Amino acid sequence: MAISGNLNIKVGLPNESTNSDSLYTAFNKINTNFNTIFGNADKVTAGNGITITNNPSNTVISTNLVAGNGIDLQVANGAITIINTGGSGNGTAGINGVVPGAGILVNGSNAAVYSGNVTLSLANSNVTPAVYTNPTITIDSYGRIISAANSSVAGTVTSVAISPGSGISVAGGPITNAGIITVTNTGVTRLTAGSGITLTGNTGNILISAAGAGGGITSIDFNSQTGLTFSNNPIVAPAAGTISINLPTNLVIVGNITAQGRFVGNGSGLSNIVLANITGIGNISSYNLEEFQKKISKERNMACKSVMFPSIDFSQNTLLGNWTGGSCAAFGFKRTISKDSEKKEILYSIKVQERDIACRGRGLQSLNMVTIPKLPKGYKVTFEP
């Protein structure tokens, strides 16, 4: 162990003072060095297993070892030898051998080992490694599983009850231990065939049929009072057949015609036609204005009192006119009104109908006035000649 603070004495050439301390300085350094040595002599501290003994002439530092069971300490030539006195194994002082117990293997066998390294392991339990369903297992007194087997899944019903439907009553439930549940039919309990009816049974699945004679419909006959005509009429049981109902060639209806609000027909013509129900229509009559237009086409003076305009309810209708003229071969006009809901547009187009003849003179002309249901808001009218 080095002690710090040592003072070196300068010594030059023999008999020369150059680079040499004086005797006074040299003796003071020697004195200081000895004081440092003696002052640090008691600062040596013994660690674990070390003993320090301070003597007047020296300090003795020695080991402090205590021999345990099966251990002997021998000192020779300043060295300490640790000797195992309990056995001959590698570091197994006090252990003479390892003998395996039940289910234990030593170095892979059930034989005892008395020297060398020892490896302990569990013996094979002969249980197949697997995942078992609802297993039955056996465990020995050491806590080892020594057998395992699959078992069927089983459960315990703790309560049985029946919920009755219509026409059913239930008594005796729910059952939590033992008992009887009684189910009773409270609806139809029996069928009995009446006149003209046959049954295939009284219980279970029953087929109900009409008998061949009596109790059923024996004849079907139609009597026309509205101009309808019938064929294969009447049909009398047990015969079977089909009766055809036909409209007459000319249908005359007394009263009004209604078509679920789409239009109303009466002696004055058609009215209340909803514009939304007019899609891609072909020929359109001019809604009671045809006769008026024929009349004014012959009048020279539109202000003549003999010209009577038909009544129009402009709160429900819109009046359209599309002036068109044709040649002297023209005999009429084909008026077409169509509706485009996406474009919000009503298209009124006129096609002149002409004969393939040669002629001279004034051609046919018309205002082509028609009434349609009141134009919806936001719609526009486009006219094509």
In this prediction, residue 292 has a pLDDT band, given cuts at 50, 70 and 90, of: low
* pLDDT in the model for residue 216: 56
Q: Which residue has the higher pLDDT, 74 or 227?
A: 74
Give the mean pLDDT of the chain. 75
* pLDDT in the model for residue 275: 46
Residues 339-358 have a mean pLDDT of 89
Q: Where are the domains of the chain?
A: 220-250, 257-384
- Most confident residue range from 41-45, 123-127, 205-209, 232-236: 123-127
Rounded to two decimals, what is the model's pTM?
A: 0.27
Over residues 298-333, the pLDDT tens digits come to 554 444 555 566 788 888 888 888 888 888 888 888
Q: At residue 236, does pLDDT exceed 80?
A: no
Over residues 54-103, the pLDDT tens digits come to 777 777 777 778 877 767 778 888 788 887 766 555 554 556 778 887 77
* pLDDT in the model for residue 381: 92
Over residues 127-162, the pLDDT tens digits come to 888 998 888 899 888 888 889 898 877 667 778 888
Q: Would you call 381 exposed, middle or buried from its count of C-beta atoms within 10 A (0-12, 13-18, 19+)?
A: middle
